[in-house]
Structure formats: structure tokens, C-alpha cells
Amino acid sequence: MQNVSHDNRIPLKAVVDQGYCVGCGACAYKLGTAMNINRYGEYVPDLDSLSPEQLTDAGIEALCPSLHPELNEDVLARESLPPGLPFDRSIGYHLANYAGYVKEAGYRERGTSGGMGTWVAAQLLDKGLIDGVIHAKAQTRDSLRSPFYAYELSTTMEQVRDGAKTRYHVVEISKILKMLEQKSGRYLFIGVPCMVKAIRRLQHQDETLREKLPFVFSLICGHLKSINWSLSLAWGAEVQPEQSRTIQYRTKGEGISARRYVYRVSADDGTTVQKDSAQVPGGRFNSGAMMLPAC
């Protein structure tokens, strides 16, 4: 995609139509429109009911992670992080770098990897630094197109722990941010880099959101997967897509190496099937099957 400047702007609609939209929901939140799931199982903003003025509003365009490269991660970091942090061109502003895992209270066992994300969230809540955590959690599905995961607010330690494990699944932020308008308090937001970038850009324009989300935690992301990928995994485990209810993308257990992507799918009748995703066509995460075009 070409660079964006004030004299060479790319319309928001072009981002969606040409496949550069990650479905974050930042524009939908500010415009008061809906995020819909298309036939590919991807979130897209409903732009059809909006006026040309709304669609070309520079402030709205500046929220899109795929536009305005001048609002990059380094610029956003200087606004949101304490001054004087070391800077590295490859990793940006940082305090230090560590590799590790959590020994305490089963966080590692309940997590996908080392349990660090959930542990950090739990520590912030336990120390009273936040009132809750915004993160992706399992949903009750009632149709073929219903998402398996969506953003929710967790306010208890058990709710936070229940949000552990990787979600190879699209999510959007407009609904949870709309809900947050009705709440006071301070919260942690957890998301993949494009979602975090959208949050930081919203905070760039919204002082109230800066106050409500003093902590933002970014995960590492290879790419986003559509809902259809989860349905494909269900089918590969001989669970009909329309009968699939829950999915867990990574499973730990005796004889399962960290490199293997062993998943579990539950069906309407309560049965659960466990399978190695490498045995399913398109099931290997890094094969890129059914990832968002923007990724």
C-alpha cells in the first residue's frame, strides 16, 4: 500500500474493499456503525449507511492501523510510555527483554505457553492497579456464523484466569469500547499488535480512553485467522461446522510437544474431539490458510 499524506489520502472504504482491513472496529466505534462478519468469517465495518463526509473524515482515517504510517508504533510509544526509555530500531522503546515462564498457581499449565500474559493481568488486578481486564473469551454460539471468541471484561481473578490460552480467531473492539463508556475505573487491554495500535490511536484522540486504559498489553501475532478456519478445524475433527460449539487451539498434555498444535472441538451433543491440526488440510497455522488478506 502506498504511503498516506494529507495530499495523497486513501479512503477508508478502499481499505475495506481492497482487503487491507484487519477488522479491528476502531472506525466503527467512532462512527457508531456495526462490525459485521462477512462470508469469509472476517469482521468488516458497515460503511454503506455512512455519508461521504464521514467516510473521508481525517480523524476517522487516522484510527485505521492500515493508514497514516506517520502515526507508527514509535510515535505512539513516545506518547504513551514514560520518557527516557532505551530505544532500539528493531524493538522500539523498552525497559528490558526476558524469556521465562510462570511457576505460580498453575498459570503455565492453563496457558498456551508460559502463562505470562494471564499472570501479568492477574497481578495488576490483585495489586489494585486495575478494575478489570479486557481480553478475548469464549462465546456461546447460536449460529454457523457466530464467533467462537469475542472481547469481554473480566473483573474477578477467576474470570481473568478463564481468559488464558491463545485465540487464533478474529475479534473486534467496537462493542467492548461502547460498553466501557458506561463504566468508570481503570482497565488493562490485551490484544494483538494491530488491535493495540488501534487502541493507541483512539487514545491519541480521546483523553478519557487514555485514563480508562492505562495499561495495554500486546501479544505476539503471526496473523489473524477467520472464523471459517475454526469451522474447518471442526470439520477436520469430524464435527459438522453447524454443530461446533467451542474450540481450544492449543492443548498441553503428556507426549504433546510445544511445537505441536493439538486442538479440541466440542459439539452440540457434548462430545469433545482432540486432534493434531497438522493432520487437517490447512490446519498448520503457518500454512496461512484462511488468514486475513491484510495479514
Phi, psi of 170 (to 5 degrees): -65, 145
Residue 56 resides in a domain: yes
Phi, psi of 244 (to 5 degrees): -75, 135
Return the amino acid letter for 107. Y
Sheet holding 244-248, edge to edge: 244-248, 262-267, 272-276
Q: What is the extent of the structural domain holding 151?
A: 101-218
Question: How many residues are listed for the chain in this entry?
Answer: 295
| Same-domain status, 143 and 199 | yes
pTM of the model: 0.93
What residues pair up with 154 in beta bridges, in sequence order? 133
Domain count, the chain: 3
Residue 43 resides in a domain: yes
| Same-domain status, 18 and 49 | yes
| Same-domain status, 198 and 231 | no
| Same-domain status, 183 and 147 | yes
| Same-domain status, 233 and 194 | no
All three cell numbers of 40, joined, read 469469509
Residue 113 resides in a domain: yes
Strands (DSSP E) contained in 22-169 are: 35-37, 43-45, 87-88, 92-93, 132-138, 149-154
Q: Are 250 and 239 in contact (CB under 8 A)?
A: no
From first to last of the 295 residues of the chain, give the pLDDT tens digit.
Answer: 334 444 467 789 999 999 999 999 999 999 999 999 999 999 999 999 899 889 889 999 999 999 999 999 999 999 999 999 999 999 999 999 999 999 988 898 888 888 999 999 999 999 999 999 999 999 999 899 999 999 999 999 999 999 999 999 999 999 999 999 999 999 999 999 999 999 999 999 999 999 999 999 999 899 999 999 999 999 999 999 999 999 999 998 888 888 899 999 999 999 999 999 999 999 999 999 999 999 9
Residue 242 resides in a domain: yes
| Same-domain status, 137 and 197 | yes
Sheet holding 149-154, edge to edge: 149-154, 132-138, 187-191, 215-218
Helices 193-205 and 73-80 meet at what angle, rounded to 10? 60
| Same-domain status, 114 and 205 | yes
Residue 92 resides in a domain: no
Tell me whether strands 262-267 and 272-276 are parallel, antiparallel or unpaired. antiparallel
Residue 25 resides in a domain: yes
Residue 249 resides in a domain: yes
Residue 66 resides in a domain: no
